[in-house]
C-alpha cells in the first residue's frame, strides 16, 4: 500500500468525523493543477465540441495517453468514507475504471474486492453479510447483463428489507462507446429493470453529483424500512481525468444516518394499556431485530409482561431456550389470545387467518372475535405497487408506522408504569404456566426427533442433532435459511446470540442459500466465528461458482447438503395438482426431482476448491464425516458434506 493511500485514508477519516465542508482529497488536489478542463464532470468528453478528444488522430502529438487522476479515484474516496468493507463483483468492462481504482488507488482495502462468479451471488452475499454485520456491503455489476443476473437476488433483499449498496457500470455517451460489446452493455436507464424492487437509484452525470448520490444512497438504504439502492456509474466518469474546474468543487459529503422512526406516543400508550390489561397477550416477531439490541429489548418487554413470544424467524429475535419462547405453540396461543402485538410482521393477516389451498380456496379467522391486534412495522412507511410481497391487508386495531426495535423501549417503559401489584401477581402466574408449556415443547421435540432416528435417508432431526453436538461449544453462526428441515435446529439447538440465525431470503427466490451462506461466513470471518450452512440441493445448483469464491477468499464455512434429490416444494405442488385432478398421482417426480443421475455434490465442490465428502446416507457415518470437515473449517477453509436426507 502506498504512502499516499495511507495518507488519504487518514485524511478522509478525519473528514468523516468532522464533516468539514471544503474537503479536497489528494486525487482532487493534484487534478486541480492539471491540464485545462474539459466539460464539467465528463472528463475529456466535450458535449458540444464537434470532434471529441478521442477522435483526434491517435498518432497526434497532443493526445494524452495516460492520466494519474481518473474519476474512479475520487469515487473510491467517497466509498472509503462510507466504511464499506467489501465489494462483491463478477468483473465487467463497464466498471473497469472503478475496479482498477479500488485495487490500486484504494489499495484493495475498504472496500476489498471479492471475486464472484455470478451477480446473483454478489448480491446474496451482501444480503446475508448485512444481517451479520449490521452495515451494507457493496456490489459492482454491469448495468445491463450484470443487473439482469442480479435482479432476482435484489428482489430477495428488497422483500427481506435488507440494504445492499449496488453500483452498476454503464456507458451513457453513445459517441464514446467502443463498437460491438460496449453497445450491447449500454442502456439509457439501467436502474429501470430493478426500480420496482429497489428503494432509490440515481445516474450521476458528474463527480460532485456522484459524491452526493453515493452518500444519499447509503443513507436511504439504511433508513427503515431498509432496502437495496443503486447508483449507476458512467464509464466516462470513472475513467477520464478529473477536470481541474471540477476538482475544485469536489468534496466528500458527510454521512449522517437518519434515526429510525419511533411509534407515536399516543399509540405507544394505547398499546401498553391493551397489553397490561390482557389476560392472554401474545408477542409475535418477524423482521424485528435489526441490531443486537433488538433481541435484548424484546426479552425485556416479554419479561415485563411475562407474555409468550412467537418468533417467526425473519431475524434472530428471541433466545430459543428462553422460557417465554413459545414459538412451537403458535397455533394454540394465537387462538386463545386477547391481544396480539405484531413486530415487523411480513404477514399479519396470515398470522391470524388460516388459508386452505384446495380446489375451492377458503380462509377462516384463527382468532377470537374481540382479539385486539397491534402492529408496529416500518414497512407501513413505504409500500410499492407492482410486486406483491406486501401480503393480504391486515385489519389491526393499532397500527404504528414505525421501526419496532426503536419503539420497544417506550412500550416497555409504559408497560412497567401501568403494571399494578395485582397485575404483577397475574403476570407471575402466567409465567409459571408458560414455563411449563415451554418445557413440554422441548421434551416433545426430543421425543419426535427420536422417531426415524436410524432411518436412511437420514432424518432432518438426526442431521440437526449430529451437527449441534459438534458445534455447540464453539462460537457458532447458522448462516443458512434452514427453512426446509422442519425447523429442527430451532427445536433442538440453543440460539442466544444475534448472529446465530440470519432469517431467510425474503422473496423465496431459490438460489439465495449458497451465496448467502458464503456472505454470512465472510462477515463472521474476522470475528473468528464458526459458520454453519444447511444447504438445499436444488439451491446449490443455481450458481455453484460461489463455492470457488469461498475457497479463493479462504472463508471458513461448513456446508451440510440437505440432499433430498428434488426441488421438493415443487414435488408436493405437482402431487397436489395430480390428486386434485384425480390422475397420474405417481408421476409428481417428473420435472421436479434431481435424480438420474444423482448429483455428486462432493465432487462438484472438490472441483471448485473445497474439502468435500459424501454422499453420506448411513446415519452412523454422519458424525465422523462432520468431524473431518469441521477440522478443515477450524483451520480457516470452507468444507462440505453431502448428506442424503428425508424430504423435510
Partner 1 sequence: MLIAALVLAGTVAGAQTQAPAGQAAPAAPPGNAETGKKLFVANGCYQCHGYEGQGGSAGARLAPRPLPWAALSRYVRRPANQMPPYTEKVLPDADLAHIYAYLQSRPAAAAPASIPLLQP
Q: Which residues would be at the binding site for partner 1 (CB under 8 A)? A: 286, 312-314, 328-332, 334-335, 345-347, 350-351, 354-358, 366, 442-443, 446-453, 455, 457, 459-461, 465-466, 468-469, 483-484, 486-487, 492, 503-504, 506, 508, 568, 571-572, 575-576, 578-580, 582-583, 585-586, 588, 646-648
The C-alpha angle with vertex 470 and arms to 594 and 493, in degrees rounded to 5, equals: 80
Of 66 and 582, CB closest to partner 1: 582
Distance CA 235, CA 42 (A): 10
> Which among partner 1, ligand HEC, none contacts residue 356 (Cβ within 5 to 8 A by kind)?
partner 1
Q: How far is the CB of 394 from ligand HEC (least distance, A)?
A: 23
Instruction: Work out whether 589 is an interface residue with ligand HEC (CB under 6 A).
Output: no
Of 204 and 507, CB closest to partner 1: 507
Q: Pick from 510, 572, 578, 589: which binds ligand HEC (CB under 6 A)?
A: 572
User: What is the largest distance, in Å, between two alpha-carbon atoms of the chain?
Assistant: 92
Of 313 and 568, CB closest to ligand HEC: 568
Q: How far is the CB of 588 from partner 1 (least distance, A)?
A: 6
Q: How far is the CB of 32 from partner 1 (least distance, A)?
A: 52
> Which among ligand HEC, partner 1, none contacts residue 63 (Cβ within 5 to 8 A by kind)?
none
Contacts for 533 with CB less than 8 Å, ≥ 6 apart = 478, 479, 480, 513, 514, 517, 520, 521, 557, 558, 559, 560
CB 34 within 8 A of CB 244: yes
Distance CA 562, CA 430 (A): 39
CA distances 502 to 316, 388, 405, 517, 647, Å, are 6, 23, 16, 9, 23
Q: How far is the CB of 537 from partner 1 (least distance, A)?
A: 15
Among the listed ranges 4-12, 16-24, 469-477, 569-577, the one in contact with ligand HEC (CB under 6 A) is: 569-577
> Which among partner 1, ligand HEC, none contacts residue 537 (Cβ within 5 to 8 A by kind)?
none
> Which among partner 1, ligand HEC, none contacts residue 145 (Cβ within 5 to 8 A by kind)?
none
Instruction: Work out whether 575 is an interface residue with ligand HEC (CB under 6 A).
Output: yes
What character string, x for contact with ligand HEC (CB under 6 A) and - otherwise, covers 64-103?
Answer: ----------------------------------------
Residue whose C-alpha is closest to residue 499's, from 641, 322, 292? 292
Of 18 and 579, CB closest to partner 1: 579
Report the first-to-last Cα separation within the chain, whole angstroms.
50
Of 380 and 570, CB closest to ligand HEC: 570
Q: What share of the chain is helix, strand, coil (3-state, %, to 5)?
A: 45, 15, 40
Q: Pick from 4, 392, 433, 576: which binds ligand HEC (CB under 6 A)?
A: 576
Of 69 and 565, CB closest to ligand HEC: 565
CA distances 99 to 92, 122, 239, 518, Å, are 9, 15, 10, 22
CA 18 from centroid of its chain's CA atoms: 31
| Per-residue DSSP letter, 102 | I
> Which among partner 1, ligand HEC, none contacts residue 292 (Cβ within 5 to 8 A by kind)?
none
Distance CA 492, CA 259 (A): 37
Q: How far is the CB of 355 from ligand HEC (least distance, A)?
A: 11
CA distances 161 to 51, 130, 260, 380, 569, Å, are 47, 11, 14, 12, 24
Among the listed ranges 323-331, 450-458, 474-482, 572-580, the one in contact with ligand HEC (CB under 6 A) is: 572-580
Secondary element (H or E) of residue 386: none
Looking up cell 494519474 gives: 68
CB 560 within 8 A of CB 626: yes
Secondary element (H or E) of residue 499: none
> Which among ligand HEC, partner 1, none contacts residue 646 (Cβ within 5 to 8 A by kind)?
partner 1
> Which among ligand HEC, partner 1, none contacts residue 346 (Cβ within 5 to 8 A by kind)?
partner 1
Size of the site for ligand HEC (CB under 6 A): 3
Among the listed ranges 17-25, 94-102, 373-381, 570-578, the one in contact with ligand HEC (CB under 6 A) is: 570-578
What DSSP string describes 543-605? Answer: -THHHHHHHHTT--EEEEEEE-SB-HHHHHHHHHHHHHHTS-TT-TTTTTB-TTTTP-HHHHH
**Residues for the chain: how many in total?**
648
Of 523 and 571, CB closest to ligand HEC: 571
> Which among ligand HEC, partner 1, none contacts residue 312 (Cβ within 5 to 8 A by kind)?
partner 1
Cell numbers representing residue 137 in the block: 456491503
| Per-residue DSSP letter, 360 | S
Q: How far is the CB of 160 from partner 1 (least distance, A)?
A: 9
> Which among partner 1, ligand HEC, none contacts residue 459 (Cβ within 5 to 8 A by kind)?
partner 1
CA distances 254 to 7, 15, 249, 643, Å, are 19, 8, 15, 50
Instruction: Give all strands (DSSP E) within 265-346, no chain letters.
Output: 281-285, 309-311, 339-343
Of 585 and 631, CB closest to ligand HEC: 585
Binding site for ligand HEC (CB under 6 A): 572, 575-576
Amino acid at each position: 500500500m502506498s504512502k499516499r493511500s495511507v495518507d488519504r485514508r487518514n485524511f478522509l477519516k478525519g473528514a468523516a468525523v468532522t464533516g468539514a465542508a471544503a474537503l479536497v482529497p489528494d486525487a482532487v488536489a493534484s487534478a486541480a493543477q492539471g491540464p485545462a478542463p474539459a466539460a464539467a464532470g465528463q472528463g475529456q468528453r466535450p458535449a458540444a465540441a464537434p470532434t471529441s478528444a478521442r477522435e483526434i488522430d491517435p498518432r497526434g502529438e497532443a493526445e494524452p495517453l495516460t492520466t494519474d487522476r481518473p474519476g474512479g479515484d475520487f469515487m473510491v474516496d467517497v466509498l472509503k468514507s462510507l466504511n464499506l468493507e467489501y465489494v462483491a463483483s463478477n468483473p465487467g468492462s463497464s466498471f473497469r475504471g472503478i475496479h482498477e481504482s479500488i485495487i490500486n488507488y484504494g489499495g484493495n482495502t475498504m472496500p476489498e474486492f471479492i471475486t464472484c462468479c455470478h451477480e446473483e451471488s454478489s448480491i446474496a452475499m451482501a444480503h446475508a453479510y448485512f444481517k451479520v454485520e449490521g452495515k451494507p456491503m457493496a456490489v459492482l455489476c454491469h448495468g445491463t447483463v450484470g443487473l439482469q443476473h442480479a435482479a432476482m437476488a435484489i428482489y430477495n433483499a428488497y422483500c427481506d428489507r435488507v440494504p445492499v449498496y449496488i453500483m452498476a457500470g454503464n456507458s451513457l455517451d453513445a459517441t464514446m462507446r467502443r463498437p460491438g460489446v460496449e453497445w450491447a452493455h449500454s442502456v439509457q436507464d439501467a436502474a429501470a429493470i430493478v426500480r420496482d424492487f429497489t428503494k432509490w437509484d440515481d445516474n450521476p452525470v458528474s463527480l460532485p453529483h456522484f459524491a452526493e448520490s453515493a452518500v444519499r444512497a447509503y443513507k436511504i438504504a439504511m433508513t427503515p424500512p431498509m432496502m437495496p439502492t443503486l447508483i449507476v456509474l458512467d464509464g466516462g466518469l470513472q475513467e477520464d481525468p478529473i477536470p481541474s474546474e471540477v476538482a475544485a468543487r469536489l468534496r466528500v459529503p458527510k454521512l449522517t444516518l437518519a434515526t429510525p422512526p419511533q411509534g407515536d406516543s399516543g399509540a405507544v400508550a394505547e398499546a401498553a394499556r391493551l397489553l397490561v390489561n390482557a389476560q392472554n397477550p401474545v408477542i409475535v416477531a418477524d423482521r424485528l431485530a435489526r441490531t443486537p439490541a433488538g433481541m435484548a429489548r424484546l426479552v425485556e418487554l416479554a419479561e415485563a409482561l411475562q407474555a409468550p413470544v412467537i418468533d417467526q424467524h425473519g431475524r434472530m429475535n428471541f433466545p430459543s431456550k428462553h422460557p417465554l419462547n413459545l414459538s412451537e405453540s403458535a397455533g394454540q396461543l394465537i387462538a386463545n389470545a386477547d391481544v396480539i402485538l405484531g413486530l415487523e410482521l411480513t404477514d399479519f393477516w396470515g398470522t391470524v387467518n388460516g388459508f386452505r389451498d384446495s380446489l375451492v380456496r377458503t380462509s377462516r379467522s384463527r382468532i377470537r372475535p374481540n382479539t385486539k391486534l397491534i402492529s408496529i412495522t416500518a414497512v407501513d412507511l413505504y409500500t410499492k405497487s407492482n410486486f406483491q410481497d406486501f401480503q393480504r391487508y391486515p385489519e389491526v386495531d393499532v397500527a404504528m408506522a414505525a421501526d419496532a426495535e426503536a419503539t420497544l423501549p417506550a412500550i416497555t417503559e409504559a408497560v412497567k408504569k401501568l403494571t399494578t401489584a395485582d397485575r404483577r401477581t397475574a403476570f407471575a402466574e402466567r409465567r409459571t404456566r408458560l414455563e411449563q408449556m415451554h418445557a413440554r415443547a422441548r421434551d416433545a421435540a426430543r421425543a419426535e426427533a427420536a422417531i426415524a432416528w436410524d432411518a436412511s435417508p437420514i432424518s432432518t432431526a438426526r442431521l440437526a442433532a449430529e451437527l449441534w453436538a459438534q458445534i455447540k461449544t464453539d462460537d457458532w453462526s447458522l448462516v443458512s435459511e434452514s427453512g426446509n428441515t422442519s425447523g429442527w435446529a430451532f427445536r433442538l439447538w440453543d440460539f442466544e446470540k444475534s448472529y446465530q440465525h440470519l432469517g431467510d431470503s425474503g422473496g423465496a427466490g431459490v438460489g439465495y442459500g449458497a451465496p448467502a451462506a458464503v456472505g454470512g461466513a465472510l462477515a463472521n470471518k474476522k470475528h473468528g466465528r464458526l459458520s454453519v450452512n444447511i444447504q438445499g440441493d436444488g439451491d446449490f445448483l443455481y450458481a455453484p461458482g460461489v463455492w470457488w469464491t469461498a475457497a479463493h477468499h479462504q472463508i471458513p464455512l461448513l456446508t451440510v447438503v440437505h440432499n433430498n434429490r428434488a426441488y421438493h416444494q415443487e414435488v408436493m405442488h405437482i402431487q397436489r395438482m395430480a390428486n386434485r385432478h384425480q390422475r397420474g398421482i405417481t408421476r409428481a417426480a417428473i420435472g421436479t426431482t434431481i435424480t438420474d443421475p444423482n448429483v455428486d455434490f462432493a465432487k462438484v465442490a472438490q472441483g471448485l476448491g473445497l474439502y468435500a465428502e459424501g454422499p453420506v446416507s448411513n446415519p452412523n457415518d454422519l458424525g465422523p464425516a462432520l468431524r473431518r470437515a469441521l477440522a478443515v473449517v477450524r483451520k480457516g477453509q470452507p468444507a462440505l458434506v453431502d448428506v442424503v436426507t428425508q424430504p423435510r
